[in-house]
Copies of this chain bind each other. A is one copy, B any other.
């Protein structure tokens, strides 16, 4: 087992199960669902992804060859489902989530095959395959599952103090391990090195602009936890394609700087608009964290690829960086840039059509989805303990108020 792969695998694994699981724990009464359902469909998804990606990429003489790299790729694939889960969080049954996982993993594998094998596109950190595809897939699904009466459970759509702190565990693990995520399957050596450092720089810059704009856009200048939990991560999404290329630390800082702004502005202005006008009920705001930054990431990747020269990468490094070997021997950077751009378009098309299809399937009245007034509520699917603690320990509680 190559040691780096193994480290990176464990880091990515933590991002999928603790990172996403806890990030979505911000709702006051949906902690069990957030972490538990994430656990359920991710454990299901990685098995299905091993099979799907195995058939596409490592099927030899009747057997699928499995290595640690396959485990990482399975986690990546499930990452796109975790993203889509963010849009429909609290509004679906576990069965619906499993059905969605089944289809989305399949579509992910097809989309990835088209991008990596047919278009020969580079996307090591998955700006296109994971984030753009996952986000617009999820947004399409939630659009189709639109619930006009969702305001009936509006009192449960917010957070409480402790749920926000749990969510920060998720945020921090995503943020800290993102350099491993973006470099996990890069070419060992220089490319991996670059990917980790560029991601680190982009994420660091993103935190600063997120905090600044969160404070600037709120009344009274207070910081909003929703922005800190989410928009700080946009910098990692937006260098997913280009991190392993010669984006340079300064380039990464600029990308992160911009994405912190775009994502925070998205939360404040765009998200209410999407909900009221386009009827897209996006619980976690994945459009701001994965959608727009994913698109930016695809575009930055296309530009960085198109701008590549042998001077900067060195002759050998240049060929290695873009795999300009075999039948791609004659591809030029500008052509590669064009194919990268095509990759964005393909991912979007797959997301919209796939999401529409899966949304329609999930709309069938057989999956036991919760009523509008029971959304964002664990009690529907979980044995929830009565919080007797308060009875016992809140001494101030006049259980039997002194009768007059």
Contact = CB atoms under 8 A, between A and B. Distances in A.
A29 B383 contact: no
A159 B14 CA distance: 25
Nearest to A399: B396
A316 interface: no
Contact of A225 (B32, B168, B389): B32
Contacts of A224: 382-383
A345 to B, nearest CB: 33
A247 interface: no
Given A28-B388, A67-B193, A158-B388, 13 more contacts: A9-B179, A10-B179, A18-B173, A31-B164, A32-B165, A39-B172, A43-B207, A46-B204, A47-B253, A68-B193, A160-B385, A161-B387, A397-B397
A103 interface: no
A232 interface: yes
Contact of A205 (B47, B66, B162, B388): B47
A311 interface: no
Contact of A223 (B159, B208, B383, B388): B383
A403 B175 CA distance: 52
Interface majority SS on A: helix, strand, loop or mixed? Answer: helix
A267 interface: no
A273 interface: no
Interface residues of A, number: 97
Interface string A188-217: 010011001100110111011001000000
Nearest to A197: B66
A383 B166 CA distance: 16
A3 B398 CA distance: 59
A392 interface: yes
A235 B204 CA distance: 31
A321 interface: no
A66 B269 CA distance: 38
11 contacts: A1-B189, A14-B176, A17-B172, A67-B193, A67-B197, A71-B196, A94-B211, A161-B384, A162-B162, A225-B382, A225-B383
A397 B395 CA distance: 12
A228 interface: yes
Contacts of A13: 176
A108 interface: no
Given A1-B192, A172-B17, A173-B18, A161 B35 contact: no
Interface string A150-179: 000001001111101110110011011101
A381 interface: yes
A87 interface: no
Contacts of A35: 165, 168, 172
A394 interface: yes
Contact of A1 (B4, B17, B47, B175): B4
B29 A389 contact: yes
A94 B216 CA distance: 14
Closest 5 CB pairs of A and B: A43-B207, A3-B3, A401-B401, A43-B204, A1-B193
A196 B399 contact: no
A55 to B, nearest CB: 14
Given A1-B4, A176-B18, A43 B208 contact: yes
B196 A68 contact: yes
A115 to B, nearest CB: 26
Given A44-B208, A232-B39, A7 B3 contact: yes
A338 interface: no
